[in-house]
Amino acid sequence: MSVKPLLEAACGRFPERLPVWFMRQAGRYLPEYMEVRKNVDFVKLCQTPELAAEVTLQPLRRYDVDASIIFSDILVTAMAMGQKLTFDTGHGPHLEPVIRSAQDLLCLKETNALKDLGYVGEAIGLVKQKLRPEQAMIGFCGAPFTVASYMVEGQGSKDYAQLKRMIYEKPAVLRKLLDKLIETTVDYLLMQVDAGADCVMVFDSWAGNLAPDDFREWAFTPANDLLKAMQQKGIPTIYYPGQGSAQLFSLQGLAADVVSIDWRIDLLTASKILDSQGLEVALQGNLDPLALIAPEEVLRKKVRHIIEQGRLTKRPHIFNLGHGLLPITPPESLNIVLSEIRDEA
């Protein structure tokens, strides 16, 4: 059996080389991605297995990374449940109709992962054939809270006023929505694993907006329900609380193997907080994605700092960014990061 460094780290072992991949490593910063997008919109791209597989593989042709993450979107589960997803240029996702009441919940469809989201599984199967034995295939989903926040707001939001209003005024409605999302998402993740995903990553991108008590109840607990379901099946998991440095204090009982850390905190500090929560997880992260626009020497210094911090934690470490790659990233910056990592190791 071949050894995948990323999975080694996820399982609490120390792989021979530091595993590395980049959140949103397939995307708009790559000219070959923009070439594909000329002829197809974002949602259609996600739903077309051959094209999704193609753009997933694009960064692997350029970079010696240890993992591939399937090209998709966290909101495909909302689509499966019957919402229409569109993207306005420069304004992010829109979902409609929005969910604001018990009545609105009735419009949501029962989902079947294979039937509604099989296109993601197909894409995973196509990518998997092309991976080198040491490369891990990562499946992913949006965490229930984050997906619910889009379903309720209808779009990204600065304050999440509608969502918080639901927490305060209609907690039973939100709980039902989250329960539906948990059910749909567990099936979706298991389908991705059946299709070839070696591990799964749960993105709770908006969890960082909540106060600790609300975070624990509305974001952590539903996300952890997903993670527990994966744990029971022996599937390695990565948990990412977006903008969630402060939320690390509220992770007691987390059922993940890896926590992906935001760039706003040093890995060693993050590790100490996780110690206080009794968590023996591996760490992933946590370069500021904007560091990739820095001159080479500045970038190398920041990469070295993170490698050093990772070592000090005495935890297995998967090098990554603290957030997804931005479209303004120069593609050659990733090779600088990789060369620094391989030289250090």
CB 118 within 8 A of CB 191: yes
The binder of a copy of itself chosen from 11, 119, 249, 344 (CB under 8 A): 249
Q: In sequence order, what DSSP letters do the residues of 19-62 get, joined into one string?
A: -B--TT-SSTTSHHHHHHHTTS-HHHHHH-HHHHHHHHHHHHHH
Phi, psi of 65 (to 5 degrees): -100, 160
The binder of a copy of itself chosen from 290, 300, 304, 344 (CB under 8 A): 290
The piece of 8-16, 20-28, 34-42, 243-251 that touches a copy of itself (CB under 8 A) is 243-251
Q: Is 28 a catalytic residue?
A: yes
| 186 Ramachandran zone, left/alpha/beta (phi>0; psi -120 to 50) | alpha
CB 214 within 8 A of CB 167: yes
When asked if residue 280 is in the footprint of a copy of itself (CB under 8 A), the reply is no
Which residues are CB-neighbours of 334 under 8 A, at least 6 positions away? 22, 25, 59, 62, 63, 292
The binder of a copy of itself chosen from 34, 107, 114, 298 (CB under 8 A): 298
When asked if residue 265 is in the footprint of a copy of itself (CB under 8 A), the reply is yes
CB of residue 26 to a copy of itself, shortest distance in Å: 19
When asked if residue 321 is in the footprint of a copy of itself (CB under 8 A), the reply is no
DSSP state of 135: P
When asked if residue 245 is in the footprint of a copy of itself (CB under 8 A), the reply is yes
CB of residue 278 to a copy of itself, shortest distance in Å: 16
The binder of a copy of itself chosen from 164, 180, 315, 317 (CB under 8 A): 164
The binder of a copy of itself chosen from 118, 125, 154, 208 (CB under 8 A): 208
When asked if residue 262 is in the footprint of a copy of itself (CB under 8 A), the reply is yes
When asked if residue 253 is in the footprint of a copy of itself (CB under 8 A), the reply is no
How many angstroms separate the CA atoms of 10 and 200, rounded?
11
How many angstroms separate the CA atoms of 18 and 344, rounded?
9
When asked if residue 83 is in the footprint of a copy of itself (CB under 8 A), the reply is no
Across-strand partners of 199? 138
Indicate the residue among 70 and 283 with the shorter CB distance to a copy of itself. Answer: 283
Indicate the residue among 102 and 211 with the shorter CB distance to a copy of itself. Answer: 211
CB 206 within 8 A of CB 145: yes
Q: Is 24 a catalytic residue?
A: yes
Q: Is 188 a catalytic residue?
A: no
How many angstroms separate the CA atoms of 215 and 203, rounded?
14
CB of residue 298 to a copy of itself, shortest distance in Å: 5
CB of residue 293 to a copy of itself, shortest distance in Å: 6
CB of residue 243 to a copy of itself, shortest distance in Å: 8
When asked if residue 54 is in the footprint of a copy of itself (CB under 8 A), the reply is no
The binder of a copy of itself chosen from 112, 130, 168, 253 (CB under 8 A): 168
The binder of a copy of itself chosen from 3, 102, 211, 345 (CB under 8 A): 211
Q: Please report, as residue ranges, which positions from 100 to 159 form the binding site for a copy of itself (by CB under 8 A).
A: 159
Catalytic residue among 29, 33, 150, 240: 150
How many angstroms separate the CA atoms of 204 and 220, rounded?
9
Residue 59 CA, chain-centre distance (Å), reads 17
Q: In sequence order, what DSSP letters do the residues of 149-214 get, joined into one string?
A: HHHHHSB--SS-HHHHHHHHH-HHHHHHHHHHHHHHHHHHHHHHHHHT-SEEEEEETTGGGS-HHH
CB of residue 45 to a copy of itself, shortest distance in Å: 23
Which residues are CB-neighbours of 22 under 8 A, at least 6 positions away? 59, 63, 65, 320, 321, 325, 334, 337
Known catalytic residues are: 24, 28, 37, 73, 150
Give the residues lining the site for a copy of itself (CB under 8 A).
159-161, 164-165, 168-169, 208-215, 243, 245-247, 249, 262-266, 269, 288-291, 293-295, 298, 302, 305, 322, 326, 328
